[in-house]
């Protein structure tokens, strides 16, 4: 039996996560600990616990931050109500919202008017969806999954437009859109794709590997939407089994029984060190032969949040 690992590329950190994590690290250097962050800066256990050890205090809401202190908003974005609450407490804010999430916020602002209802395809309760919907309270309806696409009853007499969360399954979203278009042929399309490049590329890479894989291991946290989608996509495209793990130590020996080919990937909020640990663990179990399967190259980088850039510049002078 020839054992091998097919390693998906691209995998791991996207430009939005990299920017958000560096924004917190630079804030720690510049302002000193503690730095407050509203919600998990990105949905990854390891990243959050590493930053906590360095002096970051994660809070759920801005009213937990001392008046006048600095708070960083996470990559998932916040609604205008959160900005207002922070201003009311005189907080200094560093907004690490991913620019690709901001793009969807801007679409909501552009389409929201008294005649239009926005159908936002996404997961109910996810921070990104709460922030995006909060741009136009009362004018956005969430469509969470195919069943809701089949059953949602928009407000009669309204024009409709659909938008999406950035980290969904591309295929399932297109099915939801097809259902909505079938039911409401006049529904308008967004100006461009809302599912971000990183989500799409990581799904393409695992799709190329899954049909050959007896087992796929996705490194990522359970609250990471794009990571969970990678497990689903792997199974949909033929992987015999697929699991999500935060750490290599969570891999179970019984997963290896009868397995020749293991596919490995990681979500957009996962540092590469966790994939390296997993590959070492697999090598110890006879899977030392690793071949990278690349779907595409990624070169996108985002500048740091403007408030932080300004402070870094003044600190240098
Ligand atoms: S997954 Fe996409 S939307 Fe989310 S932070 Fe990364 S690039 Fe931005």
Mean pLDDT of 127-133: 98
Question: Binding site: what residues are annotated?
Answer: 14, 43, 76, 98, 126, 166, 196, 224-226, 269
For atom 7 of ligand 1, the residue with the nearest CA is 16
- For ligand 1, atom 2: residue with the closest CA: 196
Decide yes or no: CATH 3.40.1010.20 for domain 100-183: yes
**Sign, CA torsion 3/227/244/175:** negative
Instruction: Measure the CA–CA gap between 37 and 24, rounded to whole angstroms.
Output: 8
Average pLDDT over residues 268-285: 98
Average pLDDT over residues 95-111: 98
Nearest CA owner, ligand 1 atom 8: 16
User: pTM for the complete prediction?
Assistant: 0.96
Q: Which one of 107, 127, 128, 135 is the catalytic residue? A: 128
Work out the percent of the chain whose per-residue pLDDT is above 70. Answer: 100
Helix axis angle for 99-111 and 15-31, nearest 10°, is 110
Mean pLDDT of 214-239: 98
Q: What is the pLDDT of residue 1?
A: 65
CATH assignment, 15-98+302-316: 3.40.50.11270
Give the pLDDT of residue 317.
82
Delimiting residues of CATH 3.40.1010.20 domain(s) in the chain: 4-13+197-294, 100-183
* Ramachandran category for residue 220: left, alpha or beta (phi over 0 → left; psi -120 to 50 → alpha): left
Task: Give the CA distances from residue 146 to residues 52, 149, 169, 209, 298, in Å, rounded to whole numbers and listed in that order.
Answer: 38, 5, 12, 26, 31
pLDDT at 316: 87
pLDDT mean across residues, the chain: 97
**CA 20 to ligand 1: nearest atom:** 5
pLDDT digits (tens, 9 = 90+) for 62-75: 999 999 999 999 99
In eight-state DSSP terms, residue 304 is P
What's the average model confidence in pLDDT over 90-105?
98
| CATH code of the domain made up of 4-13+197-294 | 3.40.1010.20
Extract the annotated binding site for dimethylallyl diphosphate.
Answer: 43, 76, 126, 224-226, 269
pLDDT for position 21: 98
List every span in the chain annotated with CATH 3.40.50.11270: 15-98+302-316
Query: 128 catalytic, yes or no?
Result: yes
């Amino acid at each position: 039996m020839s054992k091998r690992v097919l390693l998906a590329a691209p995998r791991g950190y996207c430009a939005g996560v990299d920017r958000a994590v560096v924004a917190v690290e630079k804030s720690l250097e510049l302002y000193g600990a503690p730095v407050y962050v509203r919600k998990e800066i990105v949905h990854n256990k390891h990243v959050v616990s590493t930053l906590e050890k360095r002096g970051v205090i994660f809070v759920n809401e801005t009213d937990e931050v001392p008046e006048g202190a600095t708070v960083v908003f996470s990559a998932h974005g916040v609604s205008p109500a959160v900005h207002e609450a922070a201003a009311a407490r005189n907080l200094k804010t560093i907004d690490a919202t991913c620019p690709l999430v901001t793009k969807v916020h801007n679409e909501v602002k552009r389409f929201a008017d008294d005649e239009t209802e926005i159908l936002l395809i996404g997961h109910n309760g996810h921070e990104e969806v709460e922030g995006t919907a909060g741009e136009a309270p009362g004018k956005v309806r969430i469509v969470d999954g195919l069943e809701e696409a089949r059953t949602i009853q928009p407000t009669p007499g309204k024009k409709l437009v659909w938008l999406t969360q950035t980290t969904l399954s591309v295929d399932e979203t297109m099915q939801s859109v097809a259902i909505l278009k079938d039911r409401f042929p006049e529904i308008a399309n967004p100006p461009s794709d809302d599912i971000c490049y990183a989500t799409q590329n990581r799904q393409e890479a695992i799709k190329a590997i899954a049909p050959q894989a007896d087992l796929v291991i996705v490194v990522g946290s359970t609250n990471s939407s794009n990571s969970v989608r990678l497990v689903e996509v792997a199974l949909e495209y033929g992987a015999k089994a697929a699991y999500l793990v935060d750490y290599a130590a969570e891999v179970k020996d019984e997963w290896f029984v009868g397995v020749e080919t293991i596919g490995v990937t990681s979500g957009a909020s996962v540092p590469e060190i966790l994939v390296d640990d997993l590959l070492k663990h697999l090598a110890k179990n006879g899977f030392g032969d690793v071949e990278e399967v690349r779907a595409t190259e990624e070169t996108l980088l985002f500048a740091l949040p403007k408030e932080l850039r300004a402070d870094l510049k003044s600190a240098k002078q």
